[in-house]
Amino acid sequence: MERLTGIDAGFLYMETPTLHMHTLKISIVDPTTVPGGYSFARVGEVLGERLHLLPPFRRRLVEVPGGLHHPLWVEDPDFDLAHHLHRAEIAAPGGPHQLGELISDIASRQLDRSHPLWELWVVEGIEHGHIGFVAKIHHAAADGVAAAAMLANVLDAEADPGGRPQDEADPADAGGPPQDEADAAPVAPPSRPWRPEPIPTGTERLVGALRDLLRNLATLPGLVRRTAAGLTAVVRRRRSGALSPPLPFSTPRTSFNRALTPNRWFAMASLPLEEVKAVRGAFGVTINDVVLALCAGALRRYLDERGELPERPLLAGVPVSTGSPDQPEGPRLAGNRVSNLFTSLRTDIADPVERLHAIHDVTRAAKEVQDALGPEMLVDWSEVTPPRIFSAWMRLYSRLKLADRHRPPINLVISNVPGPRQPLHIAGARLLDLYSMGPILEGIGLNITVWSYVDRLGFGLVACRETMPDIWDLADHLPDALAELRKAAQAV
């Protein structure tokens, strides 16, 4: 049993009937490598064998009376794997658009908080005889780094690795995801049988909440001092004339910067990682700079085709891990250690190379601003935010569609998570492609989440069906954006 951190609980408080705070991890596999052949029943068996390596999967929420403090995670005494495991079949011809339709439907429905906050959909009928796994996990349970570590625990380096004991997971690097899983082997059974813990009484929850709340409030004076010092440093930087990222709410408005609806619309694209690395090397930037530039180039084309390209550049929020190098090495299988930096996509610049360099410069400045503020500042403030007030405000904001009445703080979210670098298998099936879908927020109605796998970058795009019905057009512009940068790199 443990209390949710403030940032984990914040993802619960943000949720409304139109703002869903779950994430999706989508895997496409080739079942021809499965020893004995694929079956839905075998998927359930493999998942059941590995539940002890997936800590959030048997935990459910228990609220504190009166919402005095953040809820608790407890082992669910009524846990039933069958409640979380589902089977679906997509319509012919089973291509990316048909798969995207099903993923959109799965993403449009919220998770039931009376059970552990996850589902796994096994998707049959995909072209070429492939199978899809769509895992829906609430953001309160895991961020992209923790999700990558959990994914490593259901993956094998071989289709039938034999009976060697397996370490629970490889260490995570500074960016978050697991290292190469080439030495992975079958899982050993848990050291002791799983037993749920007793759920604390209302009185016990209330006493524990008061104790933890007083402990958090004792940190408030120091937090105020650190925040004031960080803000002072940022103001000095801006006054010095050094390059600084745009401020939130200095954004243009686009058709996807509206109040949300409950309906999600998902699209995906896959790009060769080697070409992205070639662009990085040619222009002396980072992989993340190139990813941002690809999104910027695709968005510029998309908006220009619709007569919507604004004069001011779009502003993106970029989630970054706040894990400290001083923390003990090992896989992080739950929770969120994430902050955000804000950077300009420089969609006002027509030349793709000039745009890439401008993104590099402003993103580097954004990192320096984040360092000045302290990457843990958002996490620390979330610990002392009153839960009931935060939740009530979010529901009111959503119900009144207030996002339609002001500029968005940012235009979209772009997340880049390095994934496995070795070919892997799920339940014996060879993993072909890996995609992720992050949440969208009120007024910030587009999320582009990028996961790498071996030699590909998988882009997962999500928006509301009503505000961005042509999201596949944006996905189709990503290869074009890479092609123009690749052509420029070859001329260097």
Q: Measured between alpha carbons, how far is 146 from 23 in angstroms, rounded to an integer?
A: 12
**Beta-strand relationship, 412-417 and 446-453:** parallel
Displacement of CA 139 from its chain's centroid (Å): 8
Token output for 429: 């099936």
DSSP conformational letter for 444: B
Q: How would DSSP label each residue in 65-133? A: GGG-S--EEEE-TT--HHHHEEEEEPPTT--HHHHHHHHHHHHTSPPPTTS-SEEEEEEE--GGG-EEE
What phi, psi does 257 have (nearest 5°)?
Answer: -95, 70
Cis peptide preceding 93, ω within 30 of 0: yes
Name residues whose C-beta falls within 8 Å of residue 234's C-beta, 6 or more positions apart in sequence.
244, 369, 372, 373
Active-site hit among 22, 69, 70, 139: 139
Residue (of 387, 396, 139, 390) closest to 259 by Cα position: 396
Tokens of 220: 């408030």
Q: Is residue 337 exposed (0-12), middle (13-18) or buried (19+ Cβ within 10 Å)?
A: buried
Distance CA 132, CA 427 (A): 12
Q: Percentages helix, strand, coil for the chain, rounded to the nearest 5?
A: 40, 20, 40
**One-character DSSP codes across 189-232:** PPSS---PPPPPPHHHHHHHHHHHHHHHHTTHHHHHHHHHHHHH
Amino acid at 85: L
**Length reported for the chain:** 492
Task: Give the dihedral of Cα atoms 472, 476, 477, 482; nearest 10 deg.
Answer: 140
Is 139 considered catalytic here? yes
Structure tokens given for 138:
């609430």
Catalytic residue set: 139
